[in-house]
Amino acid sequence: MSSIFGLWHWYIAGPLIGLFVPALLICLNKMLGISSSFEHICMLVLPEGKRSIFRFNMEENGWKILFVAGIMAGAFIASHFLSSTAPHFLPQKYYSAQGYGKLFIGGLLVGFGTRYANGCTSGHTIFGLSLLQSSSLKATLSFFAGGLIYTFFAYHF
Amino acid sequence: MKKIGCILYGIAFGIVLTKSEVISWFRIQNMFLFKEAHMYLIIGSAVAVGALSIQVIKKFKVKTLKGEEIRYSGKPFNKGFIIGGLIFGLGWAITGACPGPIFAQIGAGEYPAIFTLAGALTGAFVYHSVKEKLPR
């Protein structure tokens, strides 16, 4: 057993992540999902005239903006107070003008793709698969296919 | 009260994502290169626990803390799940972050992830600007 300051192994972290499915349903009656928070943030940033394109369901998805704010705070706590050494999550190459550009383009694909697919790894892969939804399985397989395609070309060409 | 609950759940989720390094670009690379099982085991065990919980909720007709009926539903399939899914997958491999981890990377002090978030917000905006013209 390693301490909580080291890496949390899959058999601890995986089940904990899975428990968010019933916990959010039972405590808040909400379905786990994150990518629609992008739309909420867009609406807060954009002038009023442009907001109407989103048709955002505040009742269903309005809570997510608080959830993602919490994720940010939780990551801060985990990396500053629950880690023995400062963890690194991004490679050094992304700390450059070129890296920023690459992250922006990658982010563009994440934002566009998750909204087009109506969900991300949390909404489809964790929540949708927990409901045994074939639509979420197709989405999940597509996420992985996209990632494998990119990684293959990035390493071989 | 409900708002505090949302934030606390977010904090807990952020801690788990960060401490299990699900938010690490390196872990995502190793997943797509089949170099380590860490991510697959996390996703697999999370889905197993989630699916089991749903079965328990169904079977015992579990209610919310307030005594309400628990509401959940799947999402009806359309072609966007495949096309959008592939596009997201490319972005996931480039940035090493799916939506939750973007916020976690920023919170963990990996400030270039702010560019990922800016891209994601722009991407969501572009999607909604052109969605009528996209195949379904």
**Is B7 domain-assigned?**
yes
Q: How far, in Å, are A74, A77, A140, B12, B17 from residue A82 at the CA level?
A: 10, 7, 31, 12, 13
**Is B52 domain-assigned?**
no
Local structure of residue A96 (DSSP, 8 states): S
* Neighboring chain B residues of A42 at a CB cutoff of 8 Å: 121, 124-125, 128
- How many other C-beta atoms lie within 10 A of the C-beta of residue B46? 29
The two structure tokens encoding residue A115:
């909204």
Residue A55 has pLDDT above 90, yes or no: no
Q: Considering only alpha carbons, which residue of chain A is nearest residue B37? A: A10
Q: What is the mean pLDDT of residues A47-54?
A: 88
* Neighboring chain A residues of B127 at a CB cutoff of 8 Å: 111-112, 115-116
Residue B35 near residue A151 (C-beta atoms within 8 A): no
* Neighboring chain B residues of A120 at a CB cutoff of 8 Å: 88, 98-100
Residue B122 has pLDDT above 90, yes or no: yes
Q: What is the mean pLDDT of residues B90-99?
A: 98
Residue to test with chain A: of B7, B59, B86, B136, most A Cβ within 10 A: B86
Q: How many residues does chain B have?
A: 136
Q: B85 and A145: CB-CB below 8 Å? A: yes
What average pLDDT does the structure give for chain A?
Answer: 95
Q: What is the mean pLDDT of residues B91-120?
A: 98
Residue A1 has pLDDT above 50, yes or no: no
- Distance to chain B for A2, nearest Cα, Å: 12
Q: How far, in Å, are A76, B4, B11, B65 from residue A71 at the CA level?
A: 9, 13, 5, 23
Where do the structural domains in chain A lie, given as residue ranges? Answer: 1-89, 90-157
**pLDDT tens-digit readout, B63-82:** 999 999 999 999 999 999 99
Q: For residue B15, give the nearest of B125, B97, B107 by alpha carbon.
A: B107
Q: Is B58 on the interface with A (CB under 8 A)?
A: no
**Is B50 domain-assigned?**
no
Residue A81 near residue B95 (C-beta atoms within 8 A): no
pLDDT above 70: percentage of residues in chain A: 99
Q: Considering only alpha carbons, which residue of chain A is nearest residue B44? A: A14
Report pLDDT for B81.
98
Q: What is the mean pLDDT of residues A78-95?
A: 94
Domain holding B87, by residue range, is: 2-45+78-131
Report pLDDT for A156.
85
The two structure tokens encoding residue B40:
């697959």
Q: What is the mean pLDDT of residues A46-59?
A: 89
Nearest to B47 among A11, A18, A146 (CB): A18
Give the confidence band of B2 by pLDDT, cuts at 50, 70, 90.
Answer: confident
Q: A89 and B115: CB-CB below 8 Å? A: no
**pLDDT tens-digit readout, B46-62:** 999 999 999 999 999 99
Q: Which of residues 59-118 of B touch A (CB under 8 A)?
A: 62, 64-66, 68, 70-78, 80-100, 102-110, 112-113, 115-118
**Is B14 domain-assigned?**
yes
**pLDDT tens-digit readout, A30-46:** 999 999 999 999 999 99
The two structure tokens encoding residue B84:
């959008």
Residue B6 has pLDDT above 70, yes or no: yes
Report pLDDT for A157.
81
Residue A83 has pLDDT above 50, yes or no: yes
Total structural domains in chain B?
A: 1
Q: A21 and B125: CB-CB below 8 Å? A: no
Residue B84 has pLDDT above 70, yes or no: yes
Q: Is the ipTM, as predicted for this complex, more than 0.85?
A: yes
Q: What is the mean pLDDT of residues B4-33?
A: 97
